[in-house]
Structure 1
Amino acid sequence: MRKLYLLSCLFIFSISIISAQSYRIEVKLKDFPGDTVTIGHRFNASYVPKDTAVLDSKGVGVFEGEEPLPQGMYLLFLPNKSFFDLLLSDDQEFYVENDTVDFMEHIVIKGSEENSLFYDYQRYLKKQSARAKEIQTRVKAAEPEEEKTKIQEELTALNDDVMTHIEDLIGSNEGTFFSKFLLALQEVKVPDPPKDEEGNVIDPAFQYKYYKVHYFDNFDISDVRLLRTPFYEQKVMTYIEKVVYQAPDTLIREVDMLIGKSRTDPQLFRYMLITLFNHFAKSQIMGMDAVYIHIAEHYYIPDAHWSDPEFISKLEERVEKSKPTLIGQTAEDFQMVNVSADHIMAAADNEELKKNPYVGNFFNLFDIKSTFTILYFWEADCGHCKTGTPNLYEAYKRLKDKDVQVVAMHMLGGEEGKVKWIDFVNEHGLYDWINCWNPYDFSYKNVYDVATTPSLYLLDKDKKIIAKKIDAEQVEKIIDSLLAKQQD
């Protein structure tokens, strides 16, 4: 008998577990008898449908399933394209009744304390917003200034009351998704900067530093439930784009932190990795390819198991090709053929000389001794090169007395390529810099990742890459800025 009793208890216990792992949301929407309604969760600006329910003649329907829905912020989407929000956490068995006249005021919720709190909170905010608007109207109309100040103090007091109420809600409901959701909406309070005895601010950057360090204090980026809200991506990308100093090394540290915190959940990790990977892959800011390569090498290639193997293979090739040309790396030495200005001018009216590819002297990039070297890859028939190359030459004329050399590497080979090159150089008088090519070996294209032309690298005296993929105006500004710093 005792054995039978234990088996019965175990059976009842297993039923309760199964029940706890299911969901059942009964809805009554009297305005839509016989229609189909959908429930789905937020995903930033998107909506991900999870289930549908057909309403009976009284507008009653049920969403139910054996597995719980992913927790987060949900929309109940109606046939007229309107919707209202629900919070889904552990308790996914409750009743909702509403109409289309006023979702917020008329909603009835039974069996979900968190959703009751959620709508009480929204109604409270609506009421206080109306009060704030009325006070603001009085402020605008008030005279004299003393009266305006007095009314303004009412608005300040109201704002303080609202913040106190929100803090009370967060504290009294700690441990619930409602509390976590509400806390995530609150900005960090930044204190005034400390001052010395004379009242001078000790550290002008104090408030920025404080804000950055405490940016995620209220927002738990490791909580996957917040991913299913409208504001997760905005919070993360604001941090990456506007809060963090835009330097590759700094961004790499922050990317490591964000991805590390996302490993609490596979879906969260996948989202964070893809979002950051795509952001830096598309970046047009010089040097950000270092962040992209870091993400690819340390996270995407080893951990993106969902990705297509062919894509991973191509990404590995991309990483291998890009790493040698990252800013801060020493440029790879390679051989070129220097064609003198005398030959170029002599070939202007001599077709035999113009077509002859077997002229010039071999030299290596590292043979160039200068404070700065501009390594410029171009083609005479490239549209952007036709304007960019003369512009760079004009910049070079202003820079050459500052110990700057330009290695103008023409990339078209063969007789036809040389003819186009000679004609272009003569047409624009590009005689003073190093005019070179290599019609025998084009491996430098892969070494320097020259997929499009023109392509420019700025190197320091040790041939380390300072800047790349920039135009004449930018390279001149960078050199002038670096020289100015050396003189300080």
Structure 2
Amino acid sequence: MKVLSFVLLLLAVMHCAQAQNPAFQIKGKIKGLQNTEVYLAHYFGSSQQVIKDTAQVDSSGHFVFEGNETLDEGLYLVSFNKNKYFDLVLGNAKFSFETDTSDVVGQMKVLQSPENEAFYAFQRDMTSAYLSLQTKKKPEQIRTEMAVIQQKWIKDHANLFVSKLIQASLEPEIPAYTKPVKTSKDSSDLYKYQFTYYKKHYFDYVDLNDERFIRTPFLQKKIDKYFEDLVVQESDSISKDADVLLHGIKNQAMRKYVVYKIASTYENHNIVGTDGAFVHLAEKYYIGEPQLWDTTTIRKMKERIAIIKPLLIGKRIPEMFLTDPAGKLLTTSAIQANYTILFIYDPDCSHCKEETPKLLKQDAYFKAKNIAVLAACLVRDKVMWKKFIEEFKIQHWKNGIDIHINAKTGKEEYYTDFQKTYDAYATPVVYILDKSKNIIGKRIPVDKIQDFLKFYESKRK
């Protein structure tokens, strides 16, 4: 009993010590706010915020965020009154601040946090400088002088993370082009020079090995803009530029974040064929660098690669074995046509019912171009299948269902896992096949099929 009492006493003392010395404690006072809740969250990319704590505001606007779990450093936000918020930089997680809802930046006073003192001083200084210059200078002069003030501030506060945050918003400054520009070729050379320099130096102002940037909106925005505006949207180009970017990232948390952001962008991208970049990234940085990921993530990635890789643009589509309405075998390879539209649908799916008439309206175009439509029913229900065919009057299409009668037993057998073999996780799914049944397009909106084929044929001329 004495031993047990001692253990309980020790635990009580430890709990008391933790309560008196929390891992983080942020005391706030917001004038104009009372008897409500406020939230402390950190950014995770540009579109997500992760709530880390909630505090109750008293009648005089006071509240405290605190806890025994250490908070990761980065840019946080304090959210109040539904859609209103302001930012705080968390490095030292024990400080206090006071402000007013009527002017959060102007009235912000911070104690024991050099990062946040500098952060809000910078905002006030820049606003003041802008208002002062606005009355005396032209827009171009204002931009130039503001840039000088900003650069000086960054240099004077180089030891602060705030300085890195502000620097991350800067664009590369392209040196003057020294050659004469007189002809169209000269203009083309000038553009090439500017584009090449800008792309090469695009990430100069972001420390790609400082994982605090994961908890800011800046990194994801930079990555998104880089791959949307500066990278050719073809699988090989995306893969190459991703490799170049990741080559310089050694910090594991940052490496993991960047790989995830790029790979998830191209797994189901709206530009045809870019999922090849996803396969490249998944094989090289998920499977190839298992130390970055947990075993569940690696297993799921292997499963996803196994589905997507055989369905990349240029690959021959896996043979489909179906039964037609007459009970005969229907296969993809047996279809003789210049192109084949593979339309995988669920007869009970409302979206499929919307898209089928749109596809049907193109019959004249399909006939003129010798294009066949193979409509594969994903649901193994003959009644629903035949009702769908009759309702939408698609008897002239190649209609098939994955139900096969075993000649010996007379029982029904199924050959195809549509989700695993054709990535049919949502319906309808559209594949466009060439004469040899190679995939040339996939997940093309039904009303964009003609535009796609015109573009495809124009590239081959």
Normalised TM-score (structure 1): 0.65
Q: For residues 34-433 of structure 1, what are the structure 2 equivalents within 5 Å?
A: 42-43=42-43, 44=46, 46=49, 48-49=51-52, 70-74=72-76, 86-89=88-91, 104=105, 114-134=115-135, 152=138, 155-190=139-174, 196=180, 198-199=182-183, 200-203=186-189, 204-256=191-243, 263-266=250-253, 268-276=254-262, 278-280=264-266, 283-300=269-286, 302=290, 305=293, 309=296, 313=299, 315-336=301-322, 357=327, 360=328, 362=329, 364-368=331-335, 370-378=337-345, 383-386=350-353, 388-389=355-356, 391-409=358-376, 416=383, 419-420=386-387, 423=390, 427=393, 430=396
Q: Within 2, Cα distance between the matches of 1:333 and 1:290? A: 21
Look up the SS of the partner of 2:432 in the other structure: strand
Contact 2:168/2:218 (8 A) holds in 1? no
Q: Within 1, Cα distance between the matches of 2:170 and 2:452? A: 41
Q: Within 1, Cα distance between the matches of 2:381 and 2:69? A: 68
Q: Within 2, Cα distance between the matches of 1:389 and 1:79? A: 47
Normalised TM-score (structure 2): 0.69
Amino acid of the residue matched to residue 225 of structure 1? R
Contact 2:96/2:112 (8 A) holds in 1? yes
2:450 aligns with: 476
The Cα of 1:201 is off from its aligned counterpart by 0.3
Q: Within 2, Cα distance between the matches of 1:298 and 1:374? A: 33
Contact 2:77/2:88 (8 A) holds in 1? yes
Q: Within 1, Cα distance between the matches of 2:81 and 2:389? A: 70
2:434 aligns with: 460
Contact 1:98/1:108 (8 A) holds in 2? yes
Contact 2:330/2:400 (8 A) holds in 1? no
TM-aligned CA distance change 1:164 to 1:442, over 3 Å: same
Amino acid of the residue matched to residue 167 of structure 1? Q
The Cα of 1:24 is off from its aligned counterpart by 8.9
Contact 2:338/2:434 (8 A) holds in 1? yes
Cα RMSD of the aligned pairs, angstroms, is: 5.0
Contact 2:402/2:416 (8 A) holds in 1? no
More helix by share: 1
CA displacement 1:408-440 (0-9 Å, x = unmatched): 445666764675477458x4562xx54555631
Amino acid of the residue matched to residue 468 of structure 1? K
The Cα of 1:127 is off from its aligned counterpart by 0.9
Q: Within 1, Cα distance between the matches of 2:65 and 2:358? A: 66
Q: Within 1, Cα distance between the matches of 2:346 and 2:25? A: 66
Answer with 278-287 or 245-254: which moved more.
Answer: 278-287
5+ unaligned residues in a row in structure 2: which ranges? 1-21, 405-412
TM-aligned CA distance change 1:105 to 1:327, over 3 Å: same
In our comparison, the structure showing a higher alpha carbon Rg is 1
The Cα of 1:223 is off from its aligned counterpart by 1.4
Amino acid of the residue matched to residue 157 of structure 1? Q
Q: Within 1, Cα distance between the matches of 2:36 and 2:346? A: 62
Contact 1:240/1:251 (8 A) holds in 2? yes
Contact 1:23/1:64 (8 A) holds in 2? yes
Amino acid of the residue matched to residue 460 of structure 1? D
Amino acid of the residue matched to residue 153 of structure 2? L
Contact 2:119/2:162 (8 A) holds in 1? yes
Look up the SS of the partner of 1:376 in the other structure: strand
Identity of aligned residues (%): 27
